[in-house]
Amino acid sequence: MSNNKVLIYVIILLSTILLLLSGCAKESQKPKEITITTNSDEALKLFTEGRDMYEKAKIPQAAQMFDKAITLDKNFAMAYLYRAISGGGYKIARENLSKAVDLLDKVSEGEKHLILYNEAYFDNDGVKQKQELDSLLNLYPDDKRIQDLAGTYYYSIQDYPNALNHFKKAVAIDSSFASSYNMLGYVYMGMENFTAAEGPLKKYIELNPNEANPYDSYAEFLLTQGRYDESIKQYEKAFEIDPEFVTALVGIGNNYIFKKDYNKARDYYQQYYDKSFNINEKLGALYWRAVSYVYEDNITEAIKVFEERSKLAFKNKFPTVGIGSYRFSGWILGANDNFNEAEKYLNKAVDFTKTSEMNDSDRKTFEIYNKGFQCWLQAMKKDTKGAEKSLETLKNIVENRRKPDEIKNLNSIYGIIQFNKGNYDLALEYYQKSYTDDPEIWYWEAIAQEKAGNTQEAKKLYKKIAEYNVNGLSLALVRNKAIKKL
């Protein structure tokens, strides 16, 4: 064999080996992060800026960036997805999500799973959501945002150990990934490990000292500890850094709720309403104002505000908020034994569920919750036979759908029925399978423990409710009752 032929043979052999090694590397190495598909560099730049804003909780500003990115690339699936989760109401969310889903055949595998994950979230399909999350984790174990997403998923279902694990992985991948430090703080708060929570929240401030949200998160931590004046100062600092960060005004209002200065709380909720950038925020402001009246046992004013909220929601094509507001009114009235008026609001919710513009999946979800509300009212009225009969029909539907929130809702109603029948231990079993972070469920647990003769356990729960500093309608309905029990 000539020298030239030997050289050519060696080159071909080396090339073949390198090609094979290259192929092996591609098969064994997983991409670090999800590939973003777009035909426009400028659109990608706008999307990246918007995502950064989104992760800093500057949601209205992020939404503008995603809108601009979509203008430049009408097939930008990830921009549609992020726009869907960046506020603007039901119609905007569903339309943008639908466009992202329509583009599934034009995106990378990671984008496809991420879009399907969010579709499952919107459809309240916990089983599919978990499947898509597992696929993402398998494909992108070194993508900090996927680890952060997993942490958020587990946090949302109160699986705090798993949430902790994924947020820790996210910051191990990128020690400057600020949003995961923020969520680590919230996970520790969920675990009631407040000593551990403070460190990540301070790290969040250290990483983003010129942003509003880190101070807002630390303010919320202080609020949960009952350190109201310190919390107010942190919320004020957040608002001072960014006057567009108007949600800080809600935090200040919430502090005044727990200081029992309800008029001052409403002053801040009104400021939030006046300074809001969109209808979403205005609807939120009305929710908080209505809740403030419930703490004062001023049911008439609370219902008036929820009526105002419903009208504003339907006028601006936010049907889910409008229907929800009617259910809130019915919930307040039913919890205060005004069952006839409660049924009127349930009927309004049912009527608007039939006639409002929404997709079939959402309509079905609202129909199921309306039926659940009817069962709850029957149970509250102590119509045990009627409630059990209604629940049997609903149970078959819910079990087939396998959606966690619907199952929890069902268990809460079964708990009330068993309580009414005097089966307190069985009632407690159902409550434990219901919403374990809900003060109203804690209250039902407490009175069941009391009836069962477990006075110390009941007292612990009443104390927990009385000292709980996370504002919401559920707490407003039972806080005064729990305090009286103490």
- Mean pLDDT value across residues 459-484: 97
Domains and CATH numbers, the chain: 42-140 (1.25.40.10)
Q: Is 73 left (phi over 0), alpha (psi -120 to 50) or beta?
A: beta
Question: Which residue, chain included where needed, has tokens 């029992």?
Answer: 260
CB atoms within 10 A of CB 370: 21
User: Looking at beta carbons, which pairs linking 332-337 to residues 24 or more positions away fall under 8 Å?
Assistant: 332/294, 332/299, 332/302, 332/303, 332/306, 332/473, 332/477, 333/299, 333/303, 334/376, 334/377, 334/380, 335/380, 335/440, 335/477, 336/299, 337/380
- Report the distance separating Cα 51 and Cα 47, nearest Å: 6
Tens digits of per-residue pLDDT, 199-239?
A: 999 999 999 999 999 999 999 999 999 999 999 999 999 99
**And the tokens for 426?**
């069985």
Taking 80 as the threshold, does the pLDDT of residue 11 lie above it? no
Confidence class for position 30, pLDDT limits 50, 70, 90: low
56 and 181 Cβ atoms separated by less than 8 Å: no
Amino acid identity, position 370: N
Amino acid identity, position 335: A
Tens digits of per-residue pLDDT, 33-75?
A: 999 999 999 999 999 999 999 999 999 899 999 999 999 999 9
76 and 69 Cβ atoms separated by less than 8 Å: yes
Q: How far is CA 258 from CA 150, 228, 458, 472, in A?
A: 33, 8, 22, 11
Q: Within its chain, how far is the Cα of 191 from the centroid?
A: 17
Q: What is the mean pLDDT of the chain?
A: 92
Nearest CA to 89 out of 357, 424, 419 is that of: 357
101 and 120 Cβ atoms separated by less than 8 Å: no
Q: Taking the model in full, what pTM does it have?
A: 0.87
Tens digits of per-residue pLDDT, 351-382?
A: 999 999 988 988 999 999 999 999 999 999 99
Torsion of CA 329, 334, 335, 337, to 10 degrees: 130
Confidence class for position 124, pLDDT limits 50, 70, 90: confident
